[in-house]
Amino acid sequence: MFGEKRKLMTMQCCVCKKVVALRVDPADLKRHRKHGVYVQHAFVDRKGRPYLTPAERELFVSGCCDECWDLLCPSDPLAYN
């Protein structure tokens, strides 16, 4: 818990099928998957700071890697025209 015993795991992007490797504490993963704790609260250190990047957390939420997320949801509002 609190990112102290991180183990290597992989996740696959649901769009491009790229495999992303990340280190996650199994207890934090269980809190998120089995107990429904939101990713921004599940993967934090003892001081409450997230130890996963926003892109790594997005993998848990949407299943998309950072590159696919940028293509699907561009930050430029003019890209939607």
Residues 40-61 have pLDDT tens digits of: 999 999 999 999 999 999 999 9
For residue 39, the SS3 value is helix
User: Within the chain, how many helices (H) and strands (E) appear?
Assistant: 4, 2
Contact 18, 11 (CB under 8 A): no
What pLDDT, on a 0 to 100 scale, did the predictor assign at position 5?
Answer: 93
What pLDDT, on a 0 to 100 scale, did the predictor assign at position 73?
Answer: 85
Q: CA dihedral defined by 4, 35, 55, 26, rounded to 10 degrees? A: 30
Q: Would residue 54 be called left, alpha or beta, if left means φ above 0 and alpha means ψ between -120 and 50 degrees?
A: alpha
Provide the percentage of residues in the chain whose pLDDT is more than 90.
79
